[in-house]
Amino acid sequence: MAEFFHSVTLKEDKCVGCTNCVKRCPTEAIRIRNGKAFIASERCIDCGECIRICPHHAKRARYTHMEDLGKFKYNIALPAPSLYGQFNNLDDIDYVLTGLKKMGFDQVYEVSRAAELVSEATRKLMYNPETGMSLPRPVISSACPAVVRLIRVRFPDLCDHVLPLKSPMETAAGMAKREAVERTGLPERDIGCFFITPCPAKVTDIQMPLGIDRSKVDGAIAISEVFPTLSHTMDRLESIEPIANSGIIGVGWSTSGGESAALLNEKYLAADGIENVIRVLEEVEDERIGELDFIELNACAGGCVGGVLCVENPYVAKARIQRLRKYLPVSQNHLAGGPVPTDMEWEGELEFSNVMTLSADLSEAMRMMVEIDNIEEELPGLDCGACGAPTCRAFAEDVVKGACRKTDCVFVYRKQMQKVASTLSELEGGLGWHPGGINNDGKEERE
């Protein structure tokens, strides 16, 4: 496996180096080099903001395609609940699920079923009267992989606040494969599980999961890829199979606030949109937010319905999900009594990734920091982006790391040119030179 896998990639021929994405990236992962955007792999969290903002469609998401179903003998679709918000006037989820089967999947397993179990497991882990154990407060949801990656690279002190439970997608894949092995008698390797995804962060999470060694999900197909065929198929269905088996709690995970509402606890906060998420995390880190038990954070505005691979406006999708909830029971999936099943928990801890630090050697890092401060003082502080970095501070860092030269800043360059010009004119004055030239005889001519 490559050191880094990213769903979000650059289509270089479309990039005009406009710097829109550079200024928007939450981890300062993008620079302009030779007139084109360049993504620093180790910093990218696959949030999709640059896809959203690029006016030239130069940023793309890589994901699995329907043809990949051919790799397995038996295929299961794992629809994210945000898929339901893409269809107008939907009052029965079974239309969507039957449509997916007609498109070529052998089985459909709703991710919202697993979400209901994850909600129950979260309640158990947070308040365990049997063991008296509880998680460090506030507990931060681990459902949005872009947020978990953001914490991992920018908020080291918050890593142990992240809920150590597998996501509903991962839990659903485990349960769906178990059921399919029993039903078909096939070995697990012949069964493919495909998440129908609203965002690129999930694609990356399957390839390079955090908290677990290996994902049970075999691919993620964008909602935008299945939508045209699926809606066409749904329009022509002659009969509907009763497949749906989840309720308000599970489907509610698709919009911001749904996960925390399911905890039946009032001491929670739900924030969405990457800038709001960063603001909340900064406040938690500075201990300016107290007395909260749970924090739900979604990198996309509106929650998963706002993912860049969705087709509908997130607020329209949210309104549709709210309407759909009217037809649903509260919850249809429950854990057996006793502790949280171990296969729902993370296999390891979330470890801070040191990608933002200057050097592993502390004294060298301090020296670099001083140098950055000095260079920053020489810069205009306009954060104009003309140098290809998002801020003057980030540019100073790049200079100290040797990634660019100070004169790549147009203001520094102009100052240096002015200095050279005035030195030259001083020299001219000192040597008694005068404006003029050499005549055809080789003699100096004066004005």
Residues that bind ligand SF4 (CB under 6 A): 8, 10, 15-21, 24-27, 29-30, 37, 39, 44-50, 53-54, 56, 58-59
Please tell me the distance from the alpha carbon of residue 143 to that of residue 282, in angstroms, as a whole number.
Answer: 19
- Give the nearer residue to ligand SF4 in terms of CB position, either 13 or 130: 13
- Give the nearer residue to ligand SF4 in terms of CB position, either 8 or 135: 8
- Give the nearer residue to ligand SF4 in terms of CB position, either 154 or 216: 154
- Smallest separation, CB 203 to ligand SF4 (Å): 11
- Give the nearer residue to ligand SF4 in terms of CB position, either 16 or 335: 16
Any idea what the Cα angle at residue 265 is, between residues 129 and 340, rounded to 5°?
Answer: 45
- Give the nearer residue to ligand SF4 in terms of CB position, either 28 or 116: 28
Other Cβ atoms less than 10 A from the Cβ of 425: the count is: 11
- Smallest separation, CB 152 to ligand SF4 (Å): 12
- Smallest separation, CB 413 to ligand SF4 (Å): 21
- Give the nearer residue to ligand SF4 in terms of CB position, either 22 or 83: 22
Go through the chain and tell me how many residues it has: 447
Helix, strand, or coil (residue 413): helix
Please tell me the distance from the alpha carbon of residue 62 to that of residue 206, in angstroms, as a whole number.
Answer: 12
- Extract the tokens encoding 332: 């249809």
User: Considering only CA atoms, which of 26, 71, 74, 78 is closest in space to residue 52?
Assistant: 26
User: Considering only CA atoms, which of 202, 226, 11, 199 is closest in space to residue 102?
Assistant: 226
- Strand 59-61 with 8-10, pairing: antiparallel
- Smallest separation, CB 55 to ligand SF4 (Å): 6
User: What per-residue string of b and e applies to 341-359 under the rule 16 or more CB within 10 Å gives b?
Assistant: eeebbbeeebebbeeeebe
* CB-side neighbour CA atoms (13 Å) of 53: 17
Other Cβ atoms less than 10 A from the Cβ of 278: the count is: 19
- Give the nearer residue to ligand SF4 in terms of CB position, either 56 or 325: 56
Q: Is the peptide bond before 138 cis (omega within 30 degrees of 0)?
A: yes
- Smallest separation, CB 5 to ligand SF4 (Å): 12
- Smallest separation, CB 36 to ligand SF4 (Å): 7
- Smallest separation, CB 88 to ligand SF4 (Å): 30
- Smallest separation, CB 50 to ligand SF4 (Å): 3
- Give the nearer residue to ligand SF4 in terms of CB position, either 44 or 248: 44
